[in-house]
Structure 1
Amino acid sequence: MDQNTDREIETLDEFDRAVARGPLGGHRIQAVDLTGRDAALLAADTATAIFLGCPMSPEAEAKVRGDGALVFPPVPGLPFAPYRGLLYSAEELFKGLEGGYEETPDARAYAWFQQSKSDGDVFASMLRSIHDDAISDALDEHLVGAQVVGVMGGHAMARGTDAYAGAARLGRTLARTGLTVATGGGPGAMEAANLGAYAAPFRDAMLDEALELLAKAPSFTPSVSDWAGAAFEVRTRWPRGGDSVGIPTWFYGHEPPNAFAGHIAKYFANATREDGLLARSTAGVVFLPGAAGTVQEIFDNATPNYYESRGEPTPMVLVDRAHWTEKLPAWPLLQSLAKDRAMESRIALVDTVAEAPAALARMLDQ
Structure 2
Amino acid sequence: MEIETLAELDDHLASGESLRGVRLQDLDLTGYGDRLAADGDLTGLVVLGGKVPLPVAHLLLERGAILFPGIADAPVDPWRGLYFASDLYEGLEHGYAHTRDAKAYAWFVDARLRTDAYCTLVRAIHDDSVTDHLDEFVFGRSVVGIMGGHALQRDSAAYASAADLGHTLAEEGHLVATGGGPGAMEAANLGALCRSRPAVEDAIGRIATVPGFRSDITTWAESALSARLAVVGDEPPVPSDTLGPSARSLGIPTWFYGHEPPNVFCDVIAKYFSNAIREEGLLARSNAGVVVLGGAAGTVQEIFQSVTPLYYAADEGPLPPLVLVGREHWTERVPVWPVLTAIAAGRPMAEAIHLVDEIDEVLALLPSPTP
- Structure 1 and Structure 2 fold alike (TM over 0.5): yes
CA distance in 2, matches of 1:72, 1:249: 25
Work out whether residues 38 and 57 of structure 1, in 8 Å CA contact, stay in contact via their aligned partners in 2. no
- Counterpart secondary structure, 1:167: helix
Distance 1:76 1:311, change over 3 A: farther
1:52-71 matched pairs, under 5 angstroms: 52-71=48-67
Distance 1:315 1:226, change over 3 A: same
Question: Deviation of residue 41 (structure 1)?
Answer: 4.8
Other-structure match for 2:108:
113
CA distance in 1, matches of 2:40, 2:76: 30
- RMSD value, Cα: 2.4
Deviations 1:281-320 (A, max 9, x none): 1111000000011111111111110011797532100001
Question: Deviation of residue 214 (structure 1)?
Answer: 1.1
Other-structure match for 1:14:
8
User: Which one-letter code corresponds to 1:299 in the other structure?
Assistant: F
Distance 1:51 1:355, change over 3 A: same
- Residue of 92, 95, 98 corresponding to 2:93: 98
Mean Cα deviation higher: 22-31 or 229-238: 22-31
1:1-366 matched pairs, under 5 angstroms: 7-23=1-17, 24-35=19-30, 41=36, 47=42, 48-84=44-80, 86-115=81-110, 119-199=114-194, 202-239=195-232, 243-308=248-313, 313-361=319-367
Work out whether residues 46 and 64 of structure 1, in 8 Å CA contact, stay in contact via their aligned partners in 2. no
Distance 1:98 1:317, change over 3 A: same
Instruction: In structure 2, list runs of 5 or more residues that go unmatched.
Output: 234-245
Deviations 1:150-184 (A, max 9, x none): 00000001111111111111011111111111110
CA distance in 2, matches of 1:155, 1:36: 48
- Counterpart secondary structure, 1:251: helix
CA distance in 1, matches of 2:314, 2:136: 22
Distance 1:310 1:90, change over 3 A: farther
Distance 1:36 1:355, change over 3 A: farther
User: Which one-letter code corresponds to 1:206 in the other structure?
Assistant: A
User: Which one-letter code corresponds to 1:255 in the other structure?
Assistant: E
Distance 1:316 1:121, change over 3 A: same
Deviations 1:297-350 (A, max 9, x none): 111111110011797532100001110011011111111111111011111111
Mean Cα deviation higher: 230-239 or 111-120: 111-120
% identity of equivalent residues:
49
Q: Calculate the TM-score normalised by the size of structure 2.
A: 0.89
Mean Cα deviation higher: 99-108 or 245-254: 99-108
Q: Calculate the TM-score normalised by the size of structure 1.
A: 0.90
CA distance in 2, matches of 1:327, 1:57: 60
Distance 1:284 1:115, change over 3 A: same
Distance 1:12 1:100, change over 3 A: farther
* Aligned positions, number: 355
Distance 1:291 1:10, change over 3 A: same
